[in-house]
Chain A
Amino acid sequence: MMLIHCPYCDEKRPEIEFAYAGEAHIARPDAAEQQEMSDAQWSEFLFIRDNKRGEHCERWWHANGCNMFFNAVRNTVTDKFVKTYKMGQKRPSASQISKWNEGGNV
């Protein structure tokens, strides 16, 4: 079992308290935008994801803890959590992620 750092609890907690919640930083179109979207665009928003190999920004939910959603950079090959951060923070740049990686930050 992994320990995952929750940025709200500010603690490493057992993996089974968390639930994965898909790719992060996908903004939901607002009501007006939705009216303008074609079916193809809408299905793209709903279903099409990068499915990235390597460092992936994704949402996690501390369901059996503080009940908050947060974002994480996780390597989809090694399963290493590079960093977790609060909702509302910007998607980290590639150079930021490599800096975290060098720092051994989890």
Chain B
Amino acid sequence: MSFDIKIDQGVEIPEVLQSGRVVAELAGEKVRLSLRVKSADRTAVAKALGFTLPAKIGATSSKVGITCACLGPDEWIVIADQDKGGKLYGKALKLASKYDMSVTDVSFRNIGITVTGEGAADMINVGCPLDLRLAAFPVGSCTRSVYEAVPILLYRRAEDSFTVECWRSFAPYVVGLMAAHRSGAAST
């Protein structure tokens, strides 16, 4: 299975988001695997994959080129660089025949937009009502939520850096909203 298909994301980052307190960038194509694993098999599957499947909803584990987030009681998403993803998918498929789990390739469902800078949390909060103070949403947190009316996956990579993932078809809308907030509100 090859993941090196490069498809046109159809999204451009507006100039207003290219410099200043908040900078948005496209995260590039990633491999995304949706894993459902029964709790009894969680540790064994994690060991075989080579990274932790965190038990706590909202927690992540990461190693070079791979981030794994727990999204629900038995649900994880793995987001990997393309050079890691193909092998990982093959491995996960094999495990799925052995353990009580399923794996689905959802690589092309989302695109990632990184939002970085001292105004990053403010920018996210304009459209997302989550409590993004560090104590409530520490570095490494990942959750589904909403940005305006769009379902998103929000990951805090660092204190002032987030990745917002949304469905590909919604991305121009999300980026457009961010640009509107950025140019409309001086505080953002």
Contact = CB atoms under 8 A, between A and B. Distances in A.
Interface residues of A, number: 14
Residues of B contacting A: mostly: strand
A8 interface: yes
A67 B144 CA distance: 9
Interface of A: 1, 8-11, 13-14, 16-17, 64-68
B32 to A, nearest CB: 16
Contact of A9 (B57, B75, B129, B151): B57
Contact of B73 (A8, A13, A17): A8
A45 B146 CA distance: 34
A45 to B, nearest CB: 29
Contacts of B75: 66-67
Nearest to B149: A16
B130 A9 contact: no
A8 to B, nearest CB: 6
B144 A65 contact: yes
Nearest to B146: A64
A9 B58 contact: yes
B71 A66 contact: yes
B150 to A, nearest CB: 9
Residues of A contacting B: mostly: loop
Given A16-B146, A64-B146, 17 more contacts: A1-B129, A8-B72, A8-B73, A9-B58, A9-B143, A10-B57, A14-B146, A16-B129, A17-B144, A17-B146, A64-B145, A65-B145, A66-B57, A66-B73, A66-B144, A67-B71, A68-B73
Closest 5 pairs between A and B when the two form their complex, measured CB to CB = A14-B129, A66-B72, A67-B72, A64-B146, A9-B57
B151 A64 contact: yes
A64 B144 contact: yes
26 contacts: A1-B129, A8-B57, A9-B58, A9-B143, A10-B57, A11-B58, A13-B145, A14-B129, A14-B145, A14-B146, A16-B129, A16-B146, A17-B145, A64-B144, A64-B146, A65-B143, A65-B144, A65-B145, A66-B57, A66-B71, A66-B75, A67-B71, A67-B72, A67-B144, A68-B72, A68-B73
